[in-house]
Amino acid sequence: MSSPQSRYSLDDLLAIMARLRDPAGGCPWDLEQSFATIAPHTIEEAYEVADAIAEGDMAHLCEELGDLLLQVVFHAQMAAEMGAFDFADVVQAIAAKMVKRHPHVFADASIDDADAQTAAWEAQKAAEREAAARAAGRVPSALDDVARGLPALIRAIKLQKRAARVGFDWSEAGEILAKIREELDEVEDALPRSPERVREEVGDLLFAVTNLARRLDVEPETALADANRKFERRFRHMEAALDAEGRAPQDADLADLDALWDAAKAAEAQAG
């Protein structure tokens, strides 16, 4: 392995991970882990990569990409210990997939533009999913392989896009708006009933709103993230105003809080 003064290589990283998982002298925490216990860390690291991109911080992005790579190496090491596959198999599989799905680059196929490439990519993935389903003795579904572990908002979009590709879709945004109003009415009707019914109707409402975002070419995860940041910014502005008066939010009534919120909005409008 390279010395601390030299640059580490991918082989060094693989060796470090193997050493950490070595029953004879490895790290107790690393040795206790499994695919299930590491999976949440993998998801968290992916989100931290996205945060670094949103911040535009290249040094932070470099660090977070390393953390994400470590997750891949960790999973591959555990699989190697089971005799299932190793990191080289992971590299082989993704490299082969990229070559296969880009015949316009690595073979003699012709693709006119990015939209045509996307359509060809999706068609090839659909064919692969159908072949896998048939091989397993299952009826193929347009919804196959939409990961259940995805955040619900992202999974909703993927399910809707898959359904839309086979023609199950609204023809215009106005129809989805009508559906949203219908679902909102159903939430209101459910309020006097059981909490389970309310939860179901709220879920339907969120699904319909997500569908509207998709139809309007708005990425709902990004839109909600922006709304979260806006809420946080305005709430902190409100807290700062109260702190300057020697108060905390819980010391103010709702009318005061609303007035401070409006002031925060006005300050943003003036600044922007």
CA-CA distance, 236 to 216, in Å (whole number)? 31
Helix or strand (DSSP H, E) at 177: helix 173-190
CA distance 124 to 130: 10
**Is residue 97 a contact partner of residue 90, using CB atoms and an 8 Å limit?**
no
- d(C-alpha 269, C-alpha 109), whole Å: 51
Q: What is the pLDDT of residue 4?
A: 59
Residues 68, 49: contact at Cβ < 8 Å? yes
Number of C-beta neighbours around residue 45 at 10 A: 19
Closest CA to 64 of 51, 77, 55, 73: 51
pLDDT category of residue 194 using cuts at 50, 70 and 90: very high
Task: Give me the chain's average pLDDT, please.
Answer: 91
| Choice between 20 and 121, residue whose per-residue pLDDT is larger | 20
Taking only the tens place, the pLDDT of each residue in 28-69 is: 999 999 999 999 999 999 989 988 998 899 999 999 999 999
> Which residue segments constitute the domains of the chain, with CATH numbers given?
10-100 (1.10.287.1080), 104-145 (no CATH), 222-271 (no CATH)
Instruction: Kindly indicate the confidence band of residue 1, based on its pLDDT and cuts at 50, 70 and 90.
Output: low
Q: How far apart are CA 261 and CA 249, in angstroms?
A: 11
Q: Would you give the DSSP letter of residue 146?
A: -
Helix, strand or coil, per DSSP, at residue 85:
coil
